[in-house]
Amino acid sequence: MAKIREIAVFAENKPGKIEKITGVLAREGINILAITIASTNGFGIIKLIVDKTELAYQKLKESGLTVSLNEVLAIAMKDRPGQIHDIALVFSKNGINMENAYVLVEETRKQAYLIVQVKDIERAKKLLEKENLKFYDE
């Protein structure tokens, strides 16, 4: 199964945080494929999928940000109603909990992926490999 990695950045809720991140990526010519921002009372986490993951991770870290690199599942989706429901069924059948999920659209705009974060990625991959799901090929 091909793997995809997501960059997470810790951010206190204060103005200029996103700008700092996007500034670093723009300077390095890194393309953001997907971005989500989760915030709670006081702080938040910004998650990114980019085209040059390793470079982006290095540069963000060098700029003094608190960054982590995590493996996630990227499941290919067909553009039709009920698709996410089908995937959700597979997950629940196998007893896997989606911790966090969002959608990534390929650069060619022809294919979309559901990015899913799970607790035990190795176990999830093993279980899902038996199912009829297609995964992102990095």
Partner 1 sequence: MFWQEEIEVISREELQRIQLYSLQETIRRLYYNVPFYNQKFRDVNLKPDDIKSLEDIQRLPFTTRDDLRENYPYGLLAVPREKIVRLHTSSGTTGKPKAIFFTKKDIDQSAELIARCLIMTGVKSDDILQNMMTYGLFTGALVMHYGAEKVGILVIPAGPGNTERQIALMQDFGSTCLHLTPSYALYLAEVMDSKGIVPQRDLSLRRAYLGAEPYSEETRIKLENMLGIDIYNSYGLSEMNGPGVAFECKYKDGMHIWEDNFLIEVLDPDTDEPVPEGQEGEIVLTTLKREGMPLLRYRTKDIAKIIPDTCRCGRTHKRISRIFGRVDDMFIVRGVNIFPQQIERVLMGIKGVAQNYQIHLEAYDKMTVKVEIEQDFFDGNIEKLLALKSRITEKLKSEILVTPQVELLEPGTLPISEGKAQRVIDNRNL
Q: How far is CA 94 from the centre of its chain?
A: 21
CB of 103 to partner 1, least distance (A): 18
Query: Computed from CA positions of residues 88, 94, 100, 101, in that sequence, does the dihedral angle turn out positive or negative?
Result: negative
- The minimum distance between CB 113 and partner 1, in angstroms, equals 18
Nearer to partner 1, 72 or 75 (CB): 72
Residues making up the chain, counted from first to last: 138
Rank residues 89 and 103 by Cβ distance to partner 1 and give the closer one.
Answer: 103
Q: What is the C-alpha separation between 80 and 123, in angstroms, rounded?
A: 28
Nearer to partner 1, 40 or 132 (CB): 40
CA distances from 137 to 76, 77, 120, 134 (A): 10, 13, 20, 9
Residues within the interface to partner 1 (CB under 8 A):
6, 8, 10-12, 38, 40, 42-43, 45, 47, 64-68, 70, 99
Q: Smallest gap, in angstroms, from Cβ of residue 116 to partner 1? A: 14
